[in-house]
Amino acid sequence: MNILDKIIIDKKREVILKKSIIPVSQLEASVFFGKQTISLSQKLRESNSGIIAEHKRRSPSKSIINNSFTVEEVVKGYEDAGACGISVLTDGKYFGGSLDDLLLARASVNIPLLRKEFIVDEYQILEAKAHGADLILLIAAVLTREEIKSLSEFAKNLGLDVLLEVHNQEELVKSIMPSLDMIGVNNRNLKTFEVSLDFSKELASQIPNDFVKVSESGISSVEAIQELKPYGYKGFLIGENFMKTDNAGQAATEFINQL
């Protein structure tokens, strides 16, 4: 069993527990539930940099990346740097995040927020909306075509953008459907944690232009982005590269200024 399989087993248990504690009616009563969302896909189409900066304390592959910043410091730094959007990891067990991080981010910035989570249930999409997210992530590796369809349509009905993450051609082929806004290619093999930009390059031509193309993971240099732009990529998700520094916002500013 690989790390992704373990995370999904734990996530399904977590969702069952949360459903028993917090009813849907409570989520729907949140002040953010009726809030107009901001479209990241639209912002990426219009942007020159395309940077989606990530708030991430740790990961299964790197353990602790950075615990010394507050969420507010990080996300305000990213917004000031000119990021198009911010990804907030909300998984607790493996990434040290929480829905409170998303709430704090929403209270601090006015740019699109992605709830970065292992979504397996509509309930988590309601949570995302209730905590101020503008878009959700769906991971093709852990969902069937039917699940991707029902979850993405559910999110769209709530006014959320949908970013679908793929790792290979098989996942891409099974996933393409009108209820997605963005297709992200993860350059990290979730089974081996090996990272290569070749994943993004190889799949680029197979992603229809109706979708905004996003490259995720392993992007640590301006050169990498310049290498990927000719392949049609408009979005670039960067987490560890900024978070591992002493000042994530400043690191993002310097990076974006070089683009």
* Selected catalytic residue, list 79, 117, 127, 165: 165
116 is annotated as an active-site residue: yes
Residue 62 designated active-site: no
Q: How many CB atoms lie within 10 A of CB 143?
A: 22
Cα torsion 13, 152, 240, 224: sign: positive
Confirm whether 14 is a catalytic residue.
no
Residues ≥6 apart with Cβ < 8 Å to 11:
91, 118, 120
Q: DSSP state, 160?
A: -
Decide if 257 is catalytic.
Answer: no
**Contact partners, residue 177, CB within 8 Å, separation at least 6:** 145, 148, 149, 152
Grouping H, G, I as helix, E, B as strand and the rest as coil, residue 216 is strand
**117 is known as an active-site residue:** no
Catalytic residue among 54, 127, 171, 240: 54
Count the Cβ atoms, other than its own, within 10 Å of residue 29.
11
Closest CA to 138 of 83, 67, 194, 214: 214
Catalytic residue flag (residue 165): yes
C-alpha torsion angle, residues 142, 91, 154, 199 (rounded to 10): -50
Kindly name the residue from 11, 43, 59, 116 that is annotated as catalytic: 116
Whether 46 sits among the annotated catalytic residues: the reply is: no
244 neighbors 65 (Cβ within 8 angstroms): yes
Question: Of 87, 108, 175, 186, which is the active-site residue?
Answer: 186
Q: Which residues are designated catalytic?
A: 54, 56, 116, 165, 186, 216-217
